[in-house]
Amino acid sequence: MAAEDSESVAAICERDMHSLHRNVPALRRTDVDTSAIRHHYYPDGGWGWVVCGTALFAHGLSSGLLLAWGSAAPFAVKHLHARTMDTAWLGCSALASSLLISPLIVSLCRRKSTRLTAVFGGLVMALAFLFTSFAQQLHQVSLSYGVMLGVGASMVREAASLMLGQYFKRRRASAEYLMLSGVGLGIATFAAFYSDNIARLGWRLGLQAATGLVATGFFIGVLYRPASLYHPQRRAISHLKAQRKRVKHKKALRPPRPPLIDYTPLHSRAVRLLLGASAACATGLYTPAFHLGLQASKEGLPEASVRLLQTILGLGAALGCCVVGVITSRGSDQCLVSRQNLLQTSIMGLVLSLLALGWVTGYHGYVLVTWLYGTSLGGTLYSLKMFTMERVRARYFSRTWGFVQSAQALPVLLGVPVTGYINESNPRCGYYFSLAWALVGAALVHLSAWPDTDTNVTGDCDACAVLTPRMTPCHQYPHHQYPILCDLPPPTMPLRATRSVPEGLYRPPGRHVTVIEQITTSV
């Protein structure tokens, strides 16, 4: 809904802008500066924190549910009379399908309605779980769980991310780590839910109980209120929109319809390197989440211990996301850590956990490795998104992030089964395959941080815009490895105090009073 409002405001003609003085008594001037009415408004709080909590629940219901498949895989083997690797294909196919269609879902939310996409995604997820509970054959579960559930989870996840981006800009980093911590909480919740309900009620009734929990995703769209409701000039915008409906425009004057999927971010070399780094990391990033429980069961650990390991994995992912998020959002002047270094450090923690899985034995050893892998997983998920946000301008971030997630689909679909097949022939050697790809991803992350010639897509801060004659070196991100230019003053410079002067008493020379100042002054 907010995307529709922003696009409609952007399409307003300048002639309609100057008609405000006929309906708003305070606007009697002919030189009204209406540029502020075109800017998107970010509340950075208020109802946005409710949206942040809803987005946390949505990520736990989508990504957390898909990554908790390791707890349900042993029950699927008994119910479907299938091999262990067949169930691994089911889990990774659901995650891969949700990642693959991310660019399409992002475009659908931008063109239509974010709230409607979230509601429809919750309905699809509930129906997918219901169909899976009645499935008796492997291909039936592959269609309902592997494809249908992945599509619904992608709708819920991407709608939550886009809605959060409409509410937060200055506090975006803090809101993001709160939202992404829901992935770890979802892993811990659904791992315990699968182990308790399916073991006690059976496959059909256990999944039907999970259907009731997943069906709550159908109602989360109710809390997605458009951010334009809190715009300080909402009444003026509503007036202009009402006038636009009365005017009959010719079809030749209508702007061209944008393409279904915008490939503009892919023109940047840095974005292409970032896609390669994301794909390489994804080959080994999610592998332990699907194989850790099965490996611990083969080692002879009791079922309660395996269930506790899955819970520790989820809590570790939430903890790692929060720790890296606090470092990113609350950086001090004495210790500055770049997002690139945080991403590479998280990947190296993943490498160490994969290396340890090759020789770890005993329950306490598995607990330590699970904590290390969980914190690395959460830190990598958050730092990868923040690094993408830093490398790409704000207007291209949602589309670029969709492509980054889509690049992970094929590596996830192939990396998890290949690791499992190698472990079957040579026990624990498959993790070295994932380790090698993680190292390749860390190297590509280093290459993607180099300066790019395409300044229309990439940028090191959201304010770096078109080159202007009065540019100064950007001090917003002092940890950058190369100088950039932007139009912002240093953050240490105190901002000018806002002061309202009654209209007609004083007007600074050469200064145009904006619509906000005129309306507030008249009131």
Question: What is the residue extent of each domain of the chain?
Answer: 47-233+263-448
Fold category of 47-233+263-448 in CATH: Growth Hormone; Chain: A; (1.20.1250)
- Give the pLDDT score at 480: 41
d(CA 305, CA 356): 19
pLDDT in tens, 311-361: 999 999 999 999 999 998 886 666 678 888 999 999 999 999 999 998 888
pLDDT value at residue 468: 33
* pLDDT attached to residue 459: 58
Distances (CA, A) of 83 to 76, 210, 420: 9, 24, 12
Q: Give me the pLDDT at residue 231, please.
A: 74
What pLDDT is recorded for position 325? Answer: 92
Output the CA–CA distances (angstroms, integers) from residue 119 to 59, 153, 160, 193, in the order listed.
14, 11, 11, 23
Q: What are phi and psi of 392, to 5 degrees?
A: -120, 145
Q: How many CB atoms lie within 10 A of CB 508?
A: 8
Model pLDDT, residue 498: 35
354-359, Cβ contacts within 8 angstroms, sequence gap of 24 or more: 354/284, 354/287, 354/288, 354/431, 354/432, 354/434, 354/435, 354/438, 355/431, 355/432, 355/435, 357/288, 357/292, 357/295, 357/428, 357/431, 358/428, 358/429, 358/431, 358/432, 359/428
Dist. CA 40–CA 19, nearest whole Å: 21
User: What is the rounded distance in angstroms from the CA atom of residue 273 to the CA atom of residue 371?
Assistant: 30
Residue pair 346/291 in contact by the 8 Å Cβ criterion: no
Instruction: Using the structure block, give the residue that is written with the tokens 């007609």.
Output: 504
* Mean pLDDT along residues 129-138: 90
Q: In the predicted model, is pLDDT for residue 5 greater than 60?
A: no
**pLDDT tens, residue by residue, 224-283:** 988 878 777 777 777 777 777 666 554 445 566 777 888 888 888 889 999 999 999 999
Alpha helices by DSSP H, listed for 101-148, are 102-111, 114-134, 138-141
- What is the structure's pLDDT at 235? 76
Both tokens of 369, joined, read 């490795």
Neighbours of 446 (CB within 10 A): 14
Q: How confident is the model at residue 101 (pLDDT cuts 50, 70, 90)?
A: very high
Report whether pLDDT(65) > 80.
Answer: yes
CA nearest 127: which of 140, 144, 142, 139? 144
Percent of the chain with pLDDT over 70: 75
Q: What residues have CB less than 8 Å from 115, skipping those under 6 apart? A: 1, 159, 163, 221, 224
User: Which three-class secondary structure string do you get for 235-253?
Assistant: HHHHHHHHHHHHCCCCHHH
Q: First-to-last CA distance in the chain?
A: 29
Q: What is the pLDDT of residues 139-194, one digit of tens each?
A: 899 999 999 999 999 999 999 999 999 899 889 999 999 999 999 999 999 999 99
Which range, of 25-39, 119-133, 277-291, 371-385, averages the lowest pLDDT?
A: 25-39
pLDDT of residue 511 exceeding 80: no
Residues 426, 423: Cα–Cα separation, whole Å: 5
Contact 290, 418 (CB under 8 A): no
- Torsion, Cα 237 243 246 250, to 10 degrees, reads -80
What's the gap between Cα 76 and its chain centre?
30
Q: How far apart are CA 80 and CA 374, in angstroms?
A: 30
Q: Counting every residue, how long is the chain?
A: 523
Q: What does the mean pLDDT of the chain come to?
A: 79
Question: For residues 376 and 135, what is the distance between their CA atoms, to the nearest angstrom?
Answer: 35
Phi, psi of 426 (to 5 degrees): -130, 100
Provide CB contacts within 8 A for 401, sequence distance 6+: 102, 106, 161, 385, 388, 389
**What Rg value do the Cα atoms of the chain yield, rounded?**
25
Residue 47 has pLDDT above 70, yes or no: yes
Tokens of 419: 């690791």
278 contacts 404 by C-beta, under 8 angstroms: yes
